[in-house]
Structure 1
Amino acid sequence: MKSMVYRGPYKIRVEDKPIPPIEHPNDAIIRVTRAAICGSDLHLYHGMMPDTRVGMTFGHEFIGVVESVGSSVQNLAVGDRVMVPFNIYCGSCYFCVRGLYSNCHNVNPNATAVGGIYGYSHTCGGYDGGQAEFVRVPFADVGPTVIPDWLDEDDALLLTDALATGYFGAQLGSISEGDTVAVFGAGPVGLFAAKSAWFMGAGRVIVIDHLEYRLEKARTFAHAETLNFAEYDDIVVQMKKSTDHLGADVVIEAVGAEADGNFLQHVTAAKFKLQGGSPIALNWAIDSVRKGGTVSVMGAYGPMFSAVKFGDAMNKGLTLQMNQCPVKRQWPRLFEHIKNGHLKPSDIITHRIPLEHIAEGYHIFSAKLDECIKPVIVPTTA
């Protein structure tokens, strides 16, 4: 099969790899029909995540058709169209039975926090991902779901991470009716978080970024106010001015380890390419939320040192909520929003790229070229 293969920071190729076999009776092999490049894939691409090994295939957002199943699989059949959450989880451990699918205790021998994630380094279990023609899906009776007949495949693809994560970010904000909600980052997750904030009763939604084409999308897709942080000496001061000098009630941080900022901020934030990443956006969130407010963290961070202003958060009495999204838990509510016409996830897709040109897709997405917001990868076998 053709597969994206990692060869080092900024170096990926399409190579021939063996089609993955059934390794366990609970496995399924999925023929991928659509995959996507996620903003958090760029952390791998840039060499920011530890233990990202040469030869790995990325891709934790994908849908496809069941090609074969193990002898124990009961809920899927060959030929089913399925959507696969980015979490790999067993469904029966202490955490899974409590709905914490992203913290499964049985699928990742290399970490005590996160469970398994497709195509996201050996820190997250070492599973190959879906930026390929075929992918092995463990615990196939637990994660994958047959795509409803009424659901468009592009919309289903975005439910496997970006939409579910953005919705979860708004959910963790514990938004009350009339709240002012600020979202740092106008990438796919930030756009979906801003859109979802309205569903939860927000009275005002503000999106902060520095790329004008993404801010325009925040205005048209998420119906949000926007601020371009590059236009202000201090975006926190501007946020205070725009919220009666109190700060937002809820701030959703949807940027993560590779936040942008000026040189002084990078130095004082100890941005030395450590895998913990730059906490600039997170510190802005802590500074721009009101006292007693809530910060929801959706941005992806590595497991190492990051200079977060925790003392400020404590002294302001903030509630900090964060986790990798337990994707499948969000689907019933999101199905209803999509079915009722309140949300069209695929509206954020800007690029469709054949699998054989995925290296160019990563370059376009990483360098923010061609007003790229969300690239979809289409294998030749789709």
Structure 2
Amino acid sequence: MKAAQITGFRKIEVTDIPDLGELKDGEVRFKTEYISICGSDIHGAFEKVMPEEDYPLPPGMPIHEVAAVAVESKDERYPVGTRAIVIPNYRKPDGSIGTGGAVEYIDQSHEKIIKLPDWGNLEDWIMLQHSGTVLYSAKHWGNIFGKKIAVLGQGGIGLSFTMFASKQGAAEVVGIDKHDYRLEKSISLGATKTIKYVSLEDLVERAEEVTDGELFDIVVDASGNEAGFNTCLNIIKPEGKFITFSIVTADMVEFEHSLMLRKNIDISATQIATTPEPIAEIRELVALAERGWWDPKSLKTHVSDISELQKSYEEYADQKNNVIKNVVRFNP
């Protein structure tokens, strides 16, 4: 079967890998229809500088956003034809390395399958994997009526936070980014104001202006940048809430430790993948979208074929052509 595989620095190719073999009892075989690129795929693999001997990466890695259709089933809950978001098998049962999501077929069990409605486009529904991870994190900010919230970074993750904050009744939702096109998108999805990032000093000054000198009640780091943590510390008010979502390449980042202590900040580190129920909020968001509370296609800006995967990765990495989320048809 076919798989996409990172074979070098900023290089991804479609390759052939062994077929899956016989389907196990209790599992469902899905044919991948769409994948979507995430920021963590870029700085965690595509642009990560690694020794030459580490290439190629395992097949399908690091793609984790997958929309697929069941083609064989040994679980009556998912008959043939079922549409779903499917979490890849990063590890095999014996603990060895498995595959990422950019593979032609995936065998999966109930615990990693998010069933989708029969209506609507899969290229839209796939966006809920991305935003569902944000729902888990957004639950940590509690009741936000009357609160002033800033979201650092207005890519797909940051925009999802912006939408949740707007829908949940925050008094102010301020999107922060260095790209004008993302700030325009932020306003269209519910931000009350935006700030273009130029420098930390300028950002603090602008934050004081829009909050009458108080700074923000809640700040979210969705920047994917090593400097994001410290940036957020500087624009949050004393005893404010700090939600950190960003995944960065470095194991260690610098921040103003004394500033954090003086402000008595409540910090919530949030990563749904390491929780006991890593797909619960994705399923919740699918249900909310089914009843019209959330528009699945809000973040999608580009759709391309697998033959253009290299270009799609480069476009996302270099933030060209106003890309926010690029969906790729898995049609090798």
Q: TM-score range by the shorter chain?
A: 0.7 to 0.9
Change over 3 Å in CA distance of 1:176–1:52 after alignment to 2: farther
Instruction: Within 5 Å, give how 1:144-223 maps onto structure 2.
Output: 144-160=113-129, 162-223=130-191
27 and 222 in structure 1: CA distance in 2 versus 1, 3 angstrom threshold:
same
Sort the Cα spacing of 1:67 and 1:370 in 2 relative to 1 into closer, same or farther, 3 A.
same
Matching of residue 319 in structure 1 with residue 266 in structure 2? yes
1:263-314 C-alpha deviation (Å, 9 max, x unpaired): xxxxxxxxxxxxxxx2x11111111111111111111134722223344223
Change (3 A) 1:144 1:38: same
- What is the CA distance between 1:23 and its match in structure 2? 7.8
The C-alpha deviation readout for 1:324-359, integer Å capped at 9, x for no partner, is 225532245424542343321212211111112201
2:5 partner SS: strand
1:33-89 superposed Cα distances (whole Å, 9 cap, x missing partner):
1110111111111116899752422210001112334x6x45333332222247979
Q: Is the 8 A contact 1:174 1:294 kept in 2?
A: no
Task: Give yes or no for contact 2:34–2:327 (8 Å, CA) kept in 1.
Answer: yes
Equivalenced residue count is 324
Q: Tell me the secondary structure at the aligned position of residue 197 of structure 1.
A: helix
Q: Is the 8 A contact 1:21 1:29 kept in 2?
A: no
Aligned to 2:82: 80
Aligned-partner residue type, residue 110 of structure 2: D
Shift of 1:238: 1.8
What CA deviation, in whole Å up to 9, does each residue of 1:208-232 have, x standing for no partner? 0001111111111234311101277
Match of 2:308 in 1: 357
The 3-state SS of whatever aligns with 1:34 is: strand
Secondary structure of the residue aligned to 1:334 is helix
Q: Which runs of 5+ in 2 are unaligned?
A: none
Aligned to 1:33: 33
Distance in 2 of aligned mates of 1:208 and 1:46:
24
Q: Is the CA contact 1:283–1:309 (under 8 Å) kept in the aligned structure 2? A: yes
Gaps of 5+ in 1: 90-105, 110-124, 260-277
TM-score for the superposition, normalised by structure 2: 0.87
Map 1:1-382; keep pairs closer than 5 Å: 1-21=1-21, 25-43=25-43, 44-47=45-48, 54-56=56-58, 57-58=60-61, 59-69=63-73, 73-85=75-87, 126-137=97-108, 140-160=109-129, 162-230=130-198, 233-256=201-224, 259=225, 278=226, 280-302=227-249, 304-325=251-272, 327-331=278-282, 333-380=284-331
Using the aligned pairs only, state the percent identity. Answer: 23
| Amino acid across the alignment from 1:83 | I
Q: State the SS of the aligned residue for 2:126.
A: helix
CA contact (8 A) 1:85 1:327 kept: no
Once the two structures are TM-superposed, the CA of residue 317 in structure 1 deviates from its matched residue by: 1.0
- CA distance in 2: counterparts of 1:243 and 1:87, whole angstroms: 45
Distance 1:168 1:108, change over 3 A: farther
Contact 1:355 1:380 in 2 (8 A): yes
TM-score by length of 1: 0.76
